[in-house]
Chain A
Amino acid sequence: MLKHNDNKIWTKPFIITTVVVVILGMISLFTGVYDIRGQADGMAMFFITRVPRTAALMLTGASMSMTGLVMQLITQNRLVEPTTTGTIEWSGLGLILVYLLVPSPTLMLRMTGAIVFSFAGTMIFFLFLRRVRLRSSLIVPIIGMMLGAVVSSVSTFVGLTFQMTQNIESWYIGSFASVQVGRYEYLWLIIIIAAIIYIYADRLTLAGLGEEVATNLGVNYNRIIICGTGLISFAVGIVTAVIGNLPFLGLIVPNIVSMIRGDDLRTNLPWVGVLGMGTITLCDIIARTIIMPFEVPVSLILGTAGAVVFVVILLRQRRGR
């Protein structure tokens, strides 16, 4: 029915971008304090820490930016992503509650908590958006971030009462430092999510046109919204439980892609995925080298740089209007 004749994916710019991202990945593999070529167990260390870390970076980067794209489609708002809707704070609350109920929870349990709560939180936000009439699209991220602040004040309260503030702190600062064999494998699930997003791309685009249009075009609107939210929460929940909070990635990457290429979800998706990988890998390389032999959490670099890019995007929009 829908054809994409003129939208080839493997164009020359895309191939070049992919090559650049692969090179970044290689650099990431060979960045680190431990001398993998000089030491006897160098190769073993390489496969225990470096390879998982780079894989985790790629998976997380792709998933977080694709999540942002899906959220922007569903809400028809360019400024929405897990950080500006409170989704990340909700999954943090889920993590805290799991720590509270189970003394030393497994990664699986933590992930489940994070996924369930980010699903609930995102649904609440979407319901908000549907119930409330909006005067401006700029107000949506403001409300989302205030909602996030409410949720994180609840988390802080729980943390203070049960002496778990350390857990919140370490969660809130997302870092790839602890990624190694045995601690990141759940991230591979993200590939399945990416595939589903790709298959559902057209239907998600239709749902983004609003309930009436979508229903007229023969799409079950509510089911698509729930599926989309489910996908978002799975990705966010997994990343939250394994890595932590990664601000703004889902916002800047899709916006830059659509600024350059316009809006077509199916052909933009690979771009968003690849650029997301590249962005986070670059940030992580900076985070690891800037105070060698130590490292700073990548979320701080992302937060700083992401805020600048976000503001630039906003100001460009203002001029365009």
Chain B
Amino acid sequence: MAAENRTAKAFRSKKEQRRYWMLLVALVALGGFASYGLLVYNNPIPIESSSFLPVVRRRLFALVAMIIAVICQSLATVTFQSITNNRIITPSLLGFEALYSTINTTIIFFLGAQALVSFSGMTAFIIQVAAMVGMCLILYGWLLSGKYGNLQLMLLIGVIMGTGLKSLSSFMRRLLSPSEFDILQARMFGSVNNADSEYFPIAIPIVVVAALILFLYSKKLNVVSLGKDTAAALGVKYQNSVIFSLILVSILMSISTALVGSLTFYGFLVATLSYQAAPTYDHRYIFPMSLAIGFLVLTGAYFLMYHVFNAQGVVAVIIEMFGGITFLVVILRKGTL
């Protein structure tokens, strides 16, 4: 009995484990219910009509975009919080959205509208994501390595760069002609209902692979989340693991940003709820829970807002607001930063 207690099990008791699985199943069921609702509820076209399927297909695309966003944001946030050893921080702080808009603005600014219009499709998507990941890697790899490598400094510089790039791209946009500005505006407006399904064939495999790697990497993450010194003492190459995880995080965040635009506090909200629902250190259990919760939050919010409260425009903002308020409550309850 005593020996059993001393082993490093993922859960403290059988009861907690059972509770975890029940919660997971319930959340997935609810999320599935909400997404089913999103697909077919309140479809104005009768099922016999020939336009029934196109409507469902359009809704299906939105749902796929949501699922991609859920995977990206949930996994990226949990991983990021583990490697920073800090549960009040989100990777959206690193300025991905600003980077994305700067890349697009720079293209139209220097090469003209024609270039931006022809710069679309798969290659463009890959180039954009690669550029974002590359920039992050150069910057954060450089900031984290070396004698003075410091995670908090990296974060702060990320935040400041985000603000600076936002100003820079907004400044360049001012110099564009109105027609160029229109083209750019249409490009930059990302949301789940506006996600370009053309990118799905490339986005989905990348996301799935990145997610799988993260799952396989869970055991390392368990150790890394103990902090630099402990992890090093346990024989993990801390810096390499952090940089490797950061690569995955930046890939996931870049894809999510390029597809559905920015979500600042959504990932934070999901991660915080997951820690509550999965009382364990083990990422093999936290990751599935975060996916289930993220799925339910996003589909549930969209379903409620579309079909119950009839407030289409504000879904993302409401999720952000709840996430933000959760953030404040968590800081005040926690007491340390």
CB distance from B299 to the nearest CB of A (A): 21
**Known A-B contacts A150-B325, A153-B321; A314 and B335 likewise in contact (beta carbons under 8 Å):** no
> Do B264 and A153 have beta carbons less than 8 Å apart?
yes
Task: Tell me the complex Cα distance, A134–B324, Å.
Answer: 20
Checking A134, A146, A161, A247 against B93 with a beta-carbon cut-off of 8 angstroms, the contacting residue is A146
Task: Tell me the complex Cα distance, A314–B331, Å.
Answer: 25
Asked if A97 lies at the interface with its beta carbon under 8 angstroms from chain B, I say no
**Known A-B contacts A138-B156, A307-B164, A308-B164; A143 and B93 likewise in contact (beta carbons under 8 Å):** no
> Do B170 and A300 have beta carbons less than 8 Å apart?
yes
> Do B335 and A79 have beta carbons less than 8 Å apart?
no
> Do A160 and B313 have beta carbons less than 8 Å apart?
yes
A314: which B residues are within 8 A, CB to CB? 153, 156-157, 160
Task: Give the size of the chain A interface in residues (CB under 8 angstroms).
Answer: 47
> Do B331 and A149 have beta carbons less than 8 Å apart?
no
Asked if B247 lies at the interface with its beta carbon under 8 angstroms from chain A, I say no
For chain B, residues 148 to 193, give those with C-beta under 8 angstroms from any C-beta of chain A. 148, 150, 152-153, 155-157, 159-161, 163-168, 170-171, 174-175
> Do A318 and B150 have beta carbons less than 8 Å apart?
yes
> Do A150 and B324 have beta carbons less than 8 Å apart?
yes
> Do B160 and A310 have beta carbons less than 8 Å apart?
yes
> Do B317 and A157 have beta carbons less than 8 Å apart?
yes
> Do B155 and A138 have beta carbons less than 8 Å apart?
yes
> Do B153 and A138 have beta carbons less than 8 Å apart?
yes
Task: Tell me the complex Cα distance, A247–B161, Å.
Answer: 13
Asked if A123 lies at the interface with its beta carbon under 8 angstroms from chain B, I say no
**Known A-B contacts A146-B93, A150-B327; A128 and B150 likewise in contact (beta carbons under 8 Å):** no
For chain A, residues 39 to 60, give those with C-beta under 8 angstroms from any C-beta of chain B. none
For chain A, residues 137 to 166, give those with C-beta under 8 angstroms from any C-beta of chain B. 138-139, 141-143, 145-147, 149-150, 153-154, 156-157, 160-161
Task: Give the size of the chain B interface in residues (CB under 8 angstroms).
Answer: 41
A2: which B residues are within 8 A, CB to CB? none
Task: Tell me the complex Cα distance, A171–B314, Å.
Answer: 21
> Do A133 and B148 have beta carbons less than 8 Å apart?
no
Asked if A131 lies at the interface with its beta carbon under 8 angstroms from chain B, I say yes
For chain A, residues 297 to 318, give those with C-beta under 8 angstroms from any C-beta of chain B. 297, 299-304, 306-308, 310-311, 314-315, 318
Q: List 15 A-B contacts (CB under 8 A).
A: A131-B335, A132-B337, A136-B152, A138-B152, A138-B155, A142-B89, A149-B265, A248-B163, A296-B171, A301-B171, A307-B167, A311-B164, A314-B157, A318-B150, A319-B148
Q: List the 10 shortest-distance A-B pairs measured between CB atoms, nearest first.
A: A307-B164, A303-B167, A150-B324, A300-B171, A138-B152, A153-B320, A304-B168, A304-B167, A133-B336, A296-B174
Contacts A150-B327, A248-B163 supplied; 6 other A-B pairs, CB < 8 Å: A138-B155, A150-B325, A154-B321, A160-B313, A247-B163, A310-B164
List residues of chain A with CB under 8 Å of any chain B CB.
79, 83, 128, 131-136, 138-139, 141-143, 145-147, 149-150, 153-154, 156-157, 160-161, 173, 247-248, 291, 296-297, 299-304, 306-308, 310-311, 314-315, 318-319, 321
